[in-house]
C-alpha cells in the first residue's frame, strides 16, 4: 500500500515544519517535517522545497520498511495510513516491537487496537500534549473506514 494524500497532509500538520534544525522533545536533531538522521546537524537550514522533497523520500522509505512488516495483513487505507504515521513518528524499530503491531497482525479489526495508539505519548518519560492529540488523530484514522 501507499500513504494517502490525506495522511501525508495530516502528518505534515502533526510534525510541523522547521526550516532550521532543532532537538525534538526526545533529544533527536530534527528538521523539515520531522526528518531525523545522521544527515541532520546543529545549525542546519533548508528551504521549503527541500523539506517537501525530504518528506517525500522519508515517506517512501517508511512505506518500503512497512511492506515486509505488514506482509499478508489485509488493511483498509485508514488502517495503513494510521500505522504509517505512527511508525514515522516513533521509528520502524519501535513499531516492530509494539503490542499494537502484534495485535494488528493477529486481527487488524481488533477493537482494542485504537487504544494502543494512546500508549505512544511519551518522550523521555514525559507525556506530551502534542503526542496525545496526534495519537487520538491516528486512532481516528485507523477506524475511519472500517
Number of helices and strands in the chain (H, E): 7, 5
Is residue 45 annotated as a catalytic residue, yes or no? no
Parallel/antiparallel/unpaired status of strands 35-36 and 122-123: unpaired
Of 24, 63, 116, 138, the active-site residue reads 24
Q: Tell me the CA distances in angstroms from 49 to 16, 19, 42, 120, 146, one per residue in order.
A: 15, 10, 20, 30, 35
Is residue 63 annotated as a catalytic residue, yes or no? no
From the list 74, 85, 82, 70, the residue with the least C-alpha distance to 144 is 82
Of 9, 15, 45, 138, the active-site residue reads 15
Q: Residues with catalytic annotation?
A: 15, 24
Amino acid at each position: 500500500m501507499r500513504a494517502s494524500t490525506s495522511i501525508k497532509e495530516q502528518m505534515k500538520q502533526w510534525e510541523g515544519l522547521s526550516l532550521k534544525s532543532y532537538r525534538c522533545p526526545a533529544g533527536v536533531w530534527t528538521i523539515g517535517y520531522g526528518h531525523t538522521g545522521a544527515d541532520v546537524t546543529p545549525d542546519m537550514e533548508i528551504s521549503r522545497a527541500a523539506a517537501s522533497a525530504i518528506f517525500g523520500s522519508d515517506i517512501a522509505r517508511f512505506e518500503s520498511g512497512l511492506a515486509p512488516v505488514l506482509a499478508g495483513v489485509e488493511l483498509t487505507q485508514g488502517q495503513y495510513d494510521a500505522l504509517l504515521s505512527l511508525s514515522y513518528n516513533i521509528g520502524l524499530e519501535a513499531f516492530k516491537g509494539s503490542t499494537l503491531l502484534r495485535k494488528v497482525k493477529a486481527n487488524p479489526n481488533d477493537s482494542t487496537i485504537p487504544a494502543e495508539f494512546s500508549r505512544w505519548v511519551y518522550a523521555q518519560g514525559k507525556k506530551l500534549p502534542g503526542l496525545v492529540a496526534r495519537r487520538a488523530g491516528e486512532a481516528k484514522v485507523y477506524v475511519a473506514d472500517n
